[in-house]
A and B are shown apart, each in its own frame.
Chain A
């Protein structure tokens, strides 16, 4: 039984329901427009587009997973890309085993990169991945287990806020370094690609691509309802109390670390599913998926779409990625400006100060990436770079605080308060 303002409830339901209806319609319409509308018609949706849309749905699922932990429990994970990537790698391992003897080297057991490395037998951790059921189980278990171990250590020792965010960045960074190593057994730099079959069907075929698109949509809708159930249960309110006043929740007798661990693991599993659905559609998985900047981008999607609303995260994931692909395709030099523009607008409407911090982090990362590549050989330069990064990161956090400070000052004027109130009220609905 929920007891909250009727108006709020209606507003809330309508946004989410509208979005889910649109998604459901898309799941039905897109395949029809692809299969039954002649290619000459402007209504025809090419298979290529179906796959692109399918990938956006996976991103949206990842954003939804992040919103569950960040929007409702206040855990700003800057490492959700790692769970996405692990789910993707688990799927990739299955797909690699499906290739069988059709690889370049024709080895029936070993994937090409292992033959190339002169390996004679399959490493033990590859066992079982030829079995689809086992692999799908791993899609859930591997990210879930990592989240469990990481969360157990971090939440029990009460690491919160910025420190936790930095740890999650470190987590994904460390994993990226590990997966880059050839000897780690996951194809190093190149990752996995050239997939052939998935569950007995040709990955490249139109039917498979449509099936993957539909599956992505269905999982997204299912995950939305699951998250909705969690956030609207009493647990959802416990999560909000942890987000807003962690010590209050403790003094009420709630074991904060158990709640955090539960949503964190659930969220990591959803991210893993997103990654697993993404990989056969993208046709490749490699360590770039672990890049720290990717995880920060996910935060941006959620922040822009509206944190703590679930549907907002989905919209953010879809819209930002669509916009990004449009601009990086049409006028790549414009993308950063556009993103900046979106930021300025959303900062005005945002209810949390984190956005400014995210912008600066992204700038920091954007500078960091090419520089790191250019001088990765030189250790001293690397130290220098680390300092630059640290300065940028801390200034990001500083601005984050500053924004909060400024907000409370400006909030004295009525119009700003009103502006701020609207999204905040939505957030409070759970």
Chain B
């Protein structure tokens, strides 16, 4: 595993230990433990309702766990911070349902996500620098939306919205990217392109991808964690987990 943009002394970029979260007595997350190394690309699979999105909610500060540890870079306790703090620390997130700002253009969406100061006065008097301008153009090319720069986000296709959101995630320059079901609603070609894109991104970032599509996960070619009923059922290479008897039962028993 290559560690690219994290200092060598950090053991885990994300570390979850014994995390539990109940909704009205139902344990959506049950004693979940997970350890992501700096620079790692990790796929998380699991049937619907396994708690994958809830796990991301907990990491990004949207949901507070009932108990357990959630640490970023070994010693930052994420349960003590809110969404904006966590985002600014360097954890970016793509939602399961594509969430872009519908009434802004592609360009404006990227400009909004662009790494930089998020303070009220700074944004009021913000002027885009040449390098930042080029960065937006660069990302637009990367996600294949250069031709759509002035199109309102709401007029994009589902797949294009997914890509725009991924682009917004990249331009935010986070250290960790949490990507929830990026291939949802995409054609086979788009799905493979997305896998390629995420693989490319993972060269410089830690990336956690939640996905159902097995071809997609295979294309990512990385360590896989299987989540079931809020905890880890199996972990390892895709071949290893997919030959695991319990995993087969969970998937076939759906």
Chain A residues in contact with chain B, CB under 8 A? 1, 3-5, 230, 233-235, 237-238, 240-241, 244-245, 247-248, 250-256, 258-259, 262, 424-425, 427-428
| B88 touches A (CB below 8 Å) | yes
| B111 touches A (CB below 8 Å) | yes
Could you tell me if A3 and B108 are in contact, using CB atoms closer than 8 angstroms? yes
Question: Chain B 71-100, CB within 8 Å of chain A: the 1/0 string?
Answer: 000000000001110011000110100011
- Chain A residue nearest to B106 (CB atoms) is A3
**Stretch of B3-11, B46-54, B118-126 at the chain-chain interface:** B118-126
Could you tell me if A250 and B103 are in contact, using CB atoms closer than 8 angstroms? no
Could you tell me if B105 and A252 are in contact, using CB atoms closer than 8 angstroms? no
Q: Could you name 23 residue pairs across A and B whose Cβ atoms are closer than 8 Å?
A: A1-B127, A1-B133, A3-B149, A235-B120, A235-B126, A237-B111, A241-B101, A245-B101, A247-B83, A248-B95, A248-B99, A251-B62, A251-B87, A251-B93, A252-B118, A252-B168, A252-B172, A253-B88, A253-B118, A253-B172, A255-B84, A258-B119, A428-B104
B205 to nearest A CB, angstroms? Answer: 16
| B60 touches A (CB below 8 Å) | yes
Could you tell me if A248 and B104 are in contact, using CB atoms closer than 8 angstroms? no
Q: Given the complex of chains A and B, what is the CA–CA distance between A5 and B168 in angstroms?
A: 21
| B128 touches A (CB below 8 Å) | yes
Could you tell me if A233 and B150 are in contact, using CB atoms closer than 8 angstroms? no
Could you tell me if B123 and A234 are in contact, using CB atoms closer than 8 angstroms? yes
Q: Given the complex of chains A and B, what is the CA–CA distance between A6 and B87 in angstroms?
A: 33
Q: Identify B101's interface contact among A235, A240, A253, A259, CB under 8 A.
A: A240
B122 to nearest A CB, angstroms? Answer: 8
Contacts of A254 in B (CB 8 A): 84, 118
A324 to nearest B CB, angstroms? Answer: 31
Could you tell me if B101 and A234 are in contact, using CB atoms closer than 8 angstroms? no
User: Given A3-B149, A237-B112, does the pair A247, B99 have CB atoms closer than 8 Å?
Assistant: yes
Contacts of A251 in B (CB 8 A): 60, 62, 83, 87, 92-93, 95
| B113 touches A (CB below 8 Å) | yes
Contacts of A424 in B (CB 8 A): 103
Could you tell me if A233 and B105 are in contact, using CB atoms closer than 8 angstroms? no
| B152 touches A (CB below 8 Å) | yes
B55 to nearest A CB, angstroms? Answer: 15
Could you tell me if A233 and B126 are in contact, using CB atoms closer than 8 angstroms? yes
Q: Given the complex of chains A and B, what is the CA–CA distance between A398 and B92 in angstroms?
A: 36
Which 10 pairs show the lowest CB-CB distances between chains A and B?
A253-B87, A428-B103, A250-B83, A234-B126, A235-B123, A253-B88, A241-B101, A234-B123, A235-B124, A3-B107
Which B residues from 54 to 68 make CB contacts under 8 A with A? 60, 62
Contacts of B119 in A (CB 8 A): 258
Contacts of A238 in B (CB 8 A): 112, 123
B182 to nearest A CB, angstroms? Answer: 15
Q: Given the complex of chains A and B, what is the CA–CA distance between A375 and B161 in angstroms?
A: 57
Question: What 11 additional pairs, Cβ within 8 angstroms, besides A233-B124, A254-B118?
Answer: A3-B107, A4-B150, A5-B150, A234-B124, A235-B126, A240-B104, A244-B102, A245-B99, A251-B62, A253-B172, A255-B84
Q: Given the complex of chains A and B, what is the CA–CA distance between A247 and B133 in angstroms?
A: 26
Q: Given the complex of chains A and B, what is the CA–CA distance between A247 and B82 in angstroms?
A: 11
B135 to nearest A CB, angstroms? Answer: 14
Q: Identify B84's interface contact among A250, A262, A428, CB under 8 A.
A: A250
- Chain B residue nearest to A5 (CB atoms) is B150
Contacts of A259 in B (CB 8 A): 120
Could you tell me if B102 and A4 are in contact, using CB atoms closer than 8 angstroms? no
Q: Given the complex of chains A and B, what is the CA–CA distance between A252 and B113 in angstroms?
A: 6
Could you tell me if A244 and B112 are in contact, using CB atoms closer than 8 angstroms? no
Could you tell me if B93 and A240 are in contact, using CB atoms closer than 8 angstroms? no
Could you tell me if B104 and A3 are in contact, using CB atoms closer than 8 angstroms? no
B106 to nearest A CB, angstroms? Answer: 10
Contacts of B120 in A (CB 8 A): 235, 255, 258-259, 262
B89 to nearest A CB, angstroms? Answer: 9
Q: Identify B111's interface contact among A5, A234, A262, CB under 8 A.
A: A234
- Chain B residue nearest to A234 (CB atoms) is B126
- Chain B residue nearest to A6 (CB atoms) is B150
A256 to nearest B CB, angstroms? Answer: 7
A255 to nearest B CB, angstroms? Answer: 5
A254 to nearest B CB, angstroms? Answer: 5
Question: Chain B 162-178, CB within 8 Å of chain A: the 1/0 string?
Answer: 00000010001000000
Could you tell me if B118 and A233 are in contact, using CB atoms closer than 8 angstroms? no
Contacts of A425 in B (CB 8 A): 152
Which B residues from 169 to 222 make CB contacts under 8 A with A? 172
Contacts of B125 in A (CB 8 A): 233
Could you tell me if B118 and A241 are in contact, using CB atoms closer than 8 angstroms? no
B181 to nearest A CB, angstroms? Answer: 16
Could you tell me if B84 and A3 are in contact, using CB atoms closer than 8 angstroms? no
Could you tell me if B103 and A427 are in contact, using CB atoms closer than 8 angstroms? yes
Contacts of A241 in B (CB 8 A): 101, 104, 112
Q: Given the complex of chains A and B, what is the CA–CA distance between A240 and B84 in angstroms?
A: 17
Q: Which of A253, A256, A424 has the most CB of B within 10 A?
A: A253
A251 to nearest B CB, angstroms? Answer: 5
Contacts of B126 in A (CB 8 A): 233-235
Contacts of A248 in B (CB 8 A): 95, 99-101
Q: Given the complex of chains A and B, what is the CA–CA distance between A424 and B95 in angstroms?
A: 25
Q: Given the complex of chains A and B, what is the CA–CA distance between A427 and B102 in angstroms?
A: 11
A226 to nearest B CB, angstroms? Answer: 11
B121 to nearest A CB, angstroms? Answer: 9
Could you tell me if A428 and B83 are in contact, using CB atoms closer than 8 angstroms? no
Contacts of A237 in B (CB 8 A): 101, 104, 108, 111-112
